[in-house]
Amino acid sequence: MTKSEAKKRIEKLKKVIAHHRYLYHVLDKQEISPDALDSLKHELYLLEQKYPEFITPDSPTQRVGGKPLDKFEKVRHSVPMLSIEDIFSEDELRDWVEYLKKLAPGEKIDFFCELKIDGFAITLIYKNGVFVKGATRGDGRVGEDVTQNLKTIESIPLSLSLHHPLPLEMKDIEERLKKLIKKGEIEIRGEVYMTKKDFEKFNKERERKGEPTFSNPRNLAAGSIRQLDPKLAASRPLRFLAYDLITDVGQVTHSQEHKILPALGFKTDPGKECKTIDEVVDFWREVSKKRDTLPFQIDGIVVNVNNNALFQKLGVAGKSPRGVRALKFSPQQATTRILDIKLQVGRTGAITPVAFLKPVQVGGTTITRATLHNEDQIKRLGVKIGDTVIVERAGDVIPAVVKVLPELRTGKEKTFRMPRFCPVCKTKLTKPQGEVVWRCPNPNCPARKREFLHHFVSKKAFDIEGLGPKIVDQLVEENLISQPSDIFTLKEGDLIPLERFAEKSAKNLVSAIQKSKKIPLARFIYSLGIRHVGEETAINLAQYFGDIEKLKKASKEELEKIPDIGPEVADSIYKFFRSPDNIQLIENLLKVGIKIIPPEKFGTKLKGKKFVLTGTLESMTRAEAERRIRLLGGHPSSSISKETDFLVVGKNPGSKLDKAKKLGVKIITEKEFLTLIK
């Protein structure tokens, strides 16, 4: 075979293999046996080995995992990957539709419904028809580059082509797609998942090898995609289901996107167009009945406003688009027995009773424990150790004991009495007036200290790569750390002798710890674990005081001047900084080299002015606009009130605009806002 003949043969083989991939993964058809397809792939592989200059990124042979990565690169999403708000009943669905009608009076609203597959959301980017980048959702704005892992999934095409023509009324869209495949960018989103059958087979194989099994297919899919070694992802039977075409090719409705995606070579749920709410409810009930017979796990249906222009016009509320809801199934329930009730101690001393259960499958996951929240909840339910109880996963996620079945009691059940002393340090528990939670008041309680260390290294705090709760627990057990400052004095030699550590992993962790020493003031405040101080309050404190020393000296009265800080939160912050132990904690951190980065200096141009934003800004992101407001001394807020000074209106504003008009709040355009912040 000449070089020219080899090139032609390679191109033909790629087309034939891609065709059969499409038949199998999109149309569920099979024209040749898997053995025959493997034979074609092997021939292609041998030819490419002989003529490596003809290997292209879209070749089927390039799916095999490459070299392990040191870390995942960050990817900023051009369009945020927003989350979908959940609803759980027909009533909530109807309330949502009434809300949409108020936002868009006179508009005809119809819907497109599709299965909500329980998978791992990712986005795919194709340039000139070739798959070049795949990323996770991350925080919605910035995800992780997992391209190499996604290339190993057979149902993700490495190159795009139109496998069949679109309907006549979509011919303009077809022409745009053809142009973008030749020269341009196409972005597609969907879910990586695993079928129930493949998951069961995978777990059985791990069990046979004596390896730990996974609790559900979603966790396995997510864990596989976030492996640094692509060969691990390649060894697992992962699949991809597309649900969204981000690129504008002239699609008018979401249902049109579900015609485009299969034509491009993607498996997608056919879904259903629904003209009325009754049709949506019927579809939901129909799917609910057959969910257990489906090849993959689903936890509801996604109800989209079908018209894309109206969807955009409805805008975003918080982190969720207004024009879509996840209509979940009624929480799945199962009965099991309470084997024991044990207490957990949180970082603020909160004592939480936890029911240890006889393992039971609920919603596809094995449940072994469920929170009982507090003593009052135990009394209300009448729970005893040994009781048969009904357990549910609210929203298919959080396990909860919802009912006791006293008729199944044998007489051997034991009444649980809430201890009055901490189960770990034996300090007498306290219950502040008006609260339902018992607390351990001992700041040196080992359990509290351990939970505090977990909080200290969490993502919103110091975010030390490779230092999660399990490693923290290991370091505590080996007496290598007992307080946060100890983390920053760890040496490679301390770690190498430990289980799960080798020279490289020890070096990587010490390096990550050293890199984390520079921390913005807001995250430093959050890391201190002050009761009632979450991420937003920490940001407000950082912006108001500018450095930790001023915050330490703040009076209750001064603290209450800060937006969203009331008497209870102010009292908690004030008391925290009056504790010698807490002051020592901060001093110890500074001694080991923690550098607190002050917030950018504020101006006074907008001092005291309260801003609310609605719609999409064209010149900057909402986060950047809020940052600019803060830099000039203003206060961005998420809700309209009489105290609001300005409502900044972007593209496709939401209901805040109507409310601002009613309250007489000054409304300004994006152009006026830009002039204001110059």
Which residues are the active-site residues? 116
Between the two ends of the chain, the Cα-to-Cα distance in Å is: 68
Residue 18, SS3?
Answer: helix
Helix H or strand E encompassing 583? helix 580-591
Determine the Cα–Cα distance for residues 156 and 239; give it in Å rounded to an integer. 8
Distance of alpha carbon 567 from alpha carbon 355, whole angstroms: 35
The label of the residue with tokens 């038949």 reads 23
How many whole angstroms separate alpha carbon 210 and alpha carbon 35?
30
What is the bridge-based pairing of β-strands 646-649 and 610-614?
parallel
Query: What letter represents residue 577's amino acid?
Result: F
**Residue of 533, 534, 551 lying closest to 542 (CA atoms):** 551
Question: What angle in degrees, to the nearest 10, is found between the helix axes of 446-456 and 469-477?
Answer: 140
Exposed, middle or buried, 559 (CB in 10 Å: 0-12/13-18/19+)?
A: buried
For residue 191, give the nearest of 84, 76, 78 by alpha carbon. Answer: 84
Counting every residue written for the chain, the total comes to: 678
Does residue 295 contact residue 197 with C-beta atoms inside 8 Å?
Answer: yes
Contact call for residues 26 and 266 (beta carbons, < 8 A): yes
512 CB-near residues (< 8 Å, 6+ apart): 464, 465, 466, 467
User: What is the rounded CA–CA span in Å between residue 657 and residue 634?
Assistant: 20
**CA nearest neighbour of 332 among 416, 390, 273:** 390
Strand residue runs (E) in 237-386: 239-245, 272-274, 298-305, 316-317, 320-321, 324-328, 333-345, 351-362, 365-371, 384-385
CB 128 within 8 A of CB 178: no
Match 């030819």 to its residue by tokens.
47
Radius of gyration of the chain (CA): 28
